[in-house]
Amino acid sequence: MELRTGDVLIIGGVRIELEYKKGKTARMAISADSKTVITKNTAAARPVPSLPS
């Protein structure tokens, strides 16, 4: 999925808006119920997926 600045994703009750992106960095605004746990997994903490052939 490709997103542009201002695009909004709604997943369940969570709203994610892409506020800014430059190169490999993006800023997102996340709105969710106060009971929803939101965590960030850094790139170094997850495996690199293989590309489809």
pLDDT in tens, 19-33: 999 988 899 999 999
Distance CA 29, CA 38 (A): 12
Q: Are 3 and 9 within 8 A, CB to CB?
A: yes
Please indicate, yes or no, if residue 17 is contained in any of the structural domains.
Answer: yes
- Higher-pLDDT residue of 3 and 49 is 3
Domain that holds residue 19: 1-33
Please indicate, yes or no, if residue 4 is contained in any of the structural domains.
Answer: yes
- Of 1-10, 11-20, 37-46, least confident by mean pLDDT is 37-46
Please indicate, yes or no, if residue 20 is contained in any of the structural domains.
Answer: yes
Please indicate, yes or no, if residue 19 is contained in any of the structural domains.
Answer: yes
pLDDT at res. 48 = 67
Mean pLDDT of the chain: 88
Please indicate, yes or no, if residue 25 is contained in any of the structural domains.
Answer: yes
Q: Specify the number of domains making up the chain.
A: 1
pLDDT at 49 over 90: no
pLDDT at res. 45 = 63
pTM as predicted:
0.70
Q: Which DSSP helix (H) or strand (E) runs through 9?
A: strand 8-11
